[in-house]
A and B are shown apart, each in its own frame.
Chain A
Amino acid sequence: MIKLFWQRLAVFQRAEFLSARDLLQRAGAISVLFLVAHVAGLREFTSVLNGTVGSVAAGWKLSSFLAVIYILLYLAFVILVPILILAAMILAVGQRFRRKQKAVPGDR
């Protein structure tokens, strides 16, 4: 029952590859993952960028691993997410324009 409810929500329905909805779903997924990493405090570990261990207790290996995860998600969030949203908007406008063009002859 619960599964059916989630499946019915448009946002979770599998979209066509590189369609506007697909791009928005990817943007949403990245945003959620970044938010989780941010709330979990992984930002602290980015000190490995200047050669300082993020946490003495966690050690170099784990600190570096967590830093890489955070940095990749952050870059994806600030660079990729806006691009995905813009691209989705461009596609949506394009589709609307094409639909309008198709509709015009029939209206006459």
Chain B
Amino acid sequence: MKSRIAKILAGLAALVVAAIIWLPCLHLLFARPLSEFRQNPGLSPKARQLAARHLQLWTEPALREQELKKMRASNAEWDFMGRSYLVWSLANMALRDPPSKQLYLQTMDQIIDETLRLEKQEGMYFFLMPYAKERHYLVQPAHSLFLDGEIALMLAARRVVEEKPEYKPLLTERVNVIVERFQKSPRMLLESYPDECWMFDHCVALDAIKMADYLDGSDHSALIRGWIAMAKQKLVHRDSGLLISSFTTDGAPMAGPEGSSIWMVAHSLQLLDEDFARDQYQRARKELGEITLGFGYAHEWPESWKGEANIDSGPIIPGFEISAGSSGMAFIGAGTFGDGKFLTSLAATLDFAAFPSRTGGRLKYCASNQVGDAALLYATTLGPLWQKVKTGGKP
């Protein structure tokens, strides 16, 4: 009996020692050099594989239908955002990989044209969550800055890569609507949903305005400066110094600072105010980013804010408080600000926990979906588009 207990204790001790050896080594199975994920110049292997999968979705309608059906069952916004991220990614890819530019431009045009057709045919609610219909927009006629901003940025990105005359009036019209509303709004806050405004959407819309200025020689720099000054003053969470995610048209906070929003916001701000953008990224990195045993991930909220899991945060893994939404978007922040250590550790987590699936040179993450993979593709390719607009070279 004594010997049996001793054997069991020996077995348990061996398991503990083995766990102490294995757990710190686990990330080595998934860690890859940064160049696997992002390359400058050119395209990384991961970018090519992710892009191949997305291009396949746009050449095989049945496959795309199946993917969109799955996403729309949860959130119609994802269908729309998957298009936006893919177009923005393809714009960066066209600048990184000039020999394939025509293929990327064709796909961008196909996505933009289909999105505009659906918006016209089905109305703006087609790409919004159902609660958009439950109340009236305060400003009539109803417009969603979420749609206007992202569509404008898609059109602008396409034109920055190569001019397409048909898109010029479409971009001007979309930008004029946004600018006019900014000018009429007492607090410069525009609705994405009825009396619900999002930081993410404001920053994307301002990026589109900045790009329209670059393309067409207009000048909205005063509006952009004014909006950023207002945001620094009124839309910053005091304890963390991070911009809040959503607010009413009066500027009353609805949600606090959120990882699912701030990483993209910091990226968008880079085109508008580099110093403020870097400040927001560094705060987000400190408040939300973590690396444990070589695996990177991100929280949805800083410690000073308590929130509940929602469609944007994704499920929160208790204990480590890992948010799938925030961790996915953290790639965009880390890629924008060249945070190689964080990016490499995030990529290790991705390959460990997002279940990559490769077929015929195409890559998708099973734990993700089309919009998640498109945002990842954007993280692997972002840079050249902003660079071209910032350096002010001829369009």
Contact = CB atoms under 8 A, between A and B. Distances in A.
Interface of A: 16-19, 22-23, 43-47, 49-56, 74, 78-79, 82-88, 90-91, 94
A15 B367 CA distance: 37
Interface residues of B, number: 36
Given A43-B357, A82-B22, A87-B15, A50 B368 contact: yes
Contacts of A47: 70, 366-369
Interface string B1-32: 00000011011101101110111001001000
B74 A18 contact: no
Interface of B: 7-8, 10-12, 14-15, 17-19, 21-23, 26, 29, 66, 69-71, 73-75, 78, 311, 314-315, 324-325, 352, 355, 357, 366-369, 372
Nearest to A86: B18
Closest 7 CB pairs of A and B: A18-B11, A86-B18, A87-B14, A87-B18, A90-B14, A52-B369, A49-B367
- Majority secondary structure, B binding face: helix
Contact of B355 (A46, A51, A79, A83): A46
B22 A86 contact: yes
Contact of B11 (A45, A53, A79, A91): A91
A49 B19 contact: no
B14 A56 contact: no
A84 B23 CA distance: 12
B352 A78 contact: yes
Contact of A43 (B7, B70, B355): B355
Nearest to B75: A51
A51 B18 contact: no
Given A50-B367, A52-B369, A53-B74, A84 B8 contact: no
Given A18-B12, A94-B10, A78 B69 contact: no
Contacts of A54: 70
A61 B352 CA distance: 25
A10 to B, nearest CB: 19
Nearest to A60: B73
A86 B24 CA distance: 14
Nearest to A93: B14
B31 to A, nearest CB: 14
A83 B357 contact: no
B11 A52 contact: no
Given A52-B70, A56-B73, A83-B18, 8 more contacts: A23-B15, A50-B324, A51-B314, A52-B74, A53-B74, A79-B26, A82-B22, A86-B21
A79 B89 CA distance: 35
Contacts of A86: 14, 17-18, 21-22
B30 to A, nearest CB: 9
Contacts of A91: 10-11, 14
B74 A51 contact: yes
A56 B74 CA distance: 11
B366 A43 contact: yes
